[in-house]
Amino acid sequence: MRSGFTYSLALVLLLPAVAAFGQDVDQTLKDLKNLPKQDPVSMTGSINASSVFYNASGIKPRRDPFYWVLNANLNFMLFDKISVPFSATITQQDKNFTNGLDKFSQPFNQFGLSPRYKWLTLHAGFRVMDFSEYTYSGTMFLGGGVEVKPEKGLVSGSAFYGRLVKAVPVGGVSGVIVSLPAYNRMGGGGKVRVGNDDHNADIIFFRAKDDKYSIPFDTAVKITPAENQVFGLSTKQKITKIISFEGDFAYSMYTDNLFEDVTRIERFTYVNQIYSPRSSTTFSKAITAMINFSPEKFRFGFKYKRIDPDYRTMGAIFLTNDVEEYSFNNSFSLIHNKLNISSSIGLQQNNLDRIQSYTSKRIIGSLNTSYNFTDHFNCGVNYSNFSSNTVPVRIGTSDTIKLVQLTQSGGLTSNYSFGKKEAKHSFNFTSNYQESGGNKQQKTNNLTASVNHSIVFQKPGFTIATGVLVNQSNVNDFITQSFGPTLSVSKGFFNKKLRLTASGNYQVANTDGENIFNNLCALAGVSYVISKWSSFKMDYNFLQRQSKVSNSPSFAENRLNVSLLTTFKASGKKMFKRKKPEAVPVNETK
DSSP letter for each residue of 550-583 = TTS--EEEEEEEEEEEEEEEEEHHHHSPPPPPPP
- Dihedral class, residue 433 (left if φ above 0, else alpha if ψ from -120 to 50, else beta): beta
- pTM for the whole thing? 0.77
Q: Does residue 293 register a pLDDT over 90?
A: yes
Average pLDDT over residues 41-60: 90
The pLDDT tens digits of the residues spanning 352-378 come to: 888 877 778 888 899 999 999 998 999
First to last CA, the chain: 83
Nearest alpha-carbon partner for 87 in 65, 111, 105, 120:
111
Q: Comparing 77-86, 159-168, 302-311, 520-529, which segment has the lowest mean pLDDT?
A: 77-86
Cβ neighbour number for residue 164 with a 10 Å cutoff:
20
Please give the helix or strand (H or E) that residue 478 lies within, else none: strand 478-493
**Domain ranges in the chain?**
1-24+118-321, 460-575
Residue 274: enclosing H or E segment and its boundaries?
A: helix 271-274
* Architecture per CATH, 1-24+118-321: Beta Barrel (2.40)
Reported as type and span, the H/E element at residue 407 is strand 403-419
Give the model's pLDDT for residue 390.
Answer: 56
- 320-338 tens-digit pLDDT: 888 899 999 999 999 988 9
Measured CA distances, 169 to 94, 162, 213, 527, 563 (Å): 17, 20, 11, 44, 35
Does position 26 have pLDDT exceeding 80, yes or no? no
Q: What is the pLDDT of residue 179?
A: 65
The predicted-structure confidence for 442-501, as pLDDT tens digits, reads as follows 778 899 999 999 999 888 889 999 999 999 998 877 888 999 999 999 999 988 899 999
How crowded is residue 526: how many other Cβ atoms within 10 Å of its Cβ? 14
